[in-house]
Amino acid sequence: MSDEYNELVTEEQQQLAQQPDLKLYLTDEDALNQLRDTIDDYENTLDELTEVQQKQEQLTHDQGSIRQQIQRLEESLLSDFNEADTLAELDRLTAELETLGVDLTIGDRLRTAKQNLNQFQEQLNQFSQQSNQAIGSRKTTQEQLATHQSELQTELTIIENALAVLLPYNPEVIKLKTVADVLTFEQSNRSKIRQNPSSDVGVAVRNAINGSTAHQIRIEINALDTIFEQRGYSVIASEMRQQRTANEMGMTVVAFDINKAIKVMQEDEQRLTEAVNESQKGNNVAIQTYTTAVMHSIVDQYKAVATYNEMLAEGQRADGIQLRIELHPQLGTFDAINEARDAQLDQRPALRDLILSKIGQFTNDETLANDDDAFF
């Protein structure tokens, strides 16, 4: 299409170079119409000149008739001559002859008008022919363009339908819904696209179902068909095992219902999230319980020490030695103990961090389960 169009453009430029006025008449329809009007005017002028020539011939004929009348009068003078009447008639005929005003240049003007008319007619025919050729070429180009546009629209429809099929396979951060999206993605990821040819899709699907990244190595615990089987979706699991991939609109896709599989996984994820949230709520309650218990334990210990010191002060020894008990917090627990003893605090970050650390130790070391001293 591009070569044919270029040939038409070249031919058009050559015609314009040979006929400079052609560009005006091709691009300006008013100029072409003005040329037609000029030719019409010349034709009308020619008709008028022809009519004048006919009148001139008629006048020439009339002059001959008048001369014949004068001759007859002259012949009749001898028999019937009236000088006054004759002079009056002669004056009348002379005046009539003068009013005829025969133009001796009418023939040359008529020939010039005909030549100009023929020249303009020839030029009009040439311009009309060139205009028809240009219009024909333009029409052919427009038809070819319309054909290519129709083909392009068909391809766009195919691509958009293919993108609709691939939409469930798009990552969360990438959505390829239009051809423009595909072109933008291709420009930004050319290296990755070259490194992952479409011929490897079947292997990638097989490895994903097998739960591995190596060819022909299956990790049963991670295998998708096993996971779906265990979750009670035996139909999907069977489809995965029977045929890993299928062809849809010329593309390699999974053989099972990808939308249903995604929905199943999303529902399981939602249930798991709810379970984790419930577990987190339970953990928060447990942490609050531990926090309350730790606070009471720490406060009780300091109260007990104060009571013992009062008792020791009352029972002073004979040698004058004053006994006194003091508590020495372990390294890193001083801020947590101060927070536990301050009943006015709304937030106790140091105490919470200490408890979470102890719970972590409890989780990883079962020997702490029944050892309060080690735990606290």
Mean per-residue pLDDT, 160-181: 83
Secondary structure (3-state) at 189: coil
Cβ(130)–Cβ(15) below 8 Å: yes
Mean per-residue pLDDT, 101-122: 76
pLDDT at 25: 62
pTM more than 0.75: no
**Confidence check: pLDDT of 8 > 70:** no
DSSP run (H or E) holding 212 = none
**How far apart are the C-alpha atoms of 188 and 248, rounded to whole Å?**
26
**How far apart are the C-alpha atoms of 171 and 153, rounded to whole Å?**
27
**Which residues contact residue 299 at a Cβ distance below 8 angstroms, ignoring those fewer than 6 apart?**
340, 341
DSSP 254: E
Please provide the DSSP assignment of 293-332 as one string: HHHHHHHHHHHHHHHHHHHHHHT--TT-PPP-----PPTT
Determine what percent of the chain is predicted with pLDDT higher than 90. 0
**How far apart are the C-alpha atoms of 236 and 244, rounded to whole Å?**
11
DSSP run (H or E) holding 222 = none
**Confidence check: pLDDT of 301 > 80:** yes
Which of 78-92, 268-282, 289-303 has the lowest average pLDDT?
78-92
pLDDT at 268: 83
**Confidence check: pLDDT of 161 > 60:** yes
Residue type present at position 170: N
**Confidence check: pLDDT of 270 > 80:** yes
Mean per-residue pLDDT, 194-204: 82
**Confidence check: pLDDT of 369 > 70:** no
**Confidence check: pLDDT of 60 > 60:** yes
**How far apart are the C-alpha atoms of 165 and 145, rounded to whole Å?**
30
**Confidence check: pLDDT of 259 > 60:** yes
Band (27; pLDDT cuts 50, 70, 90): low
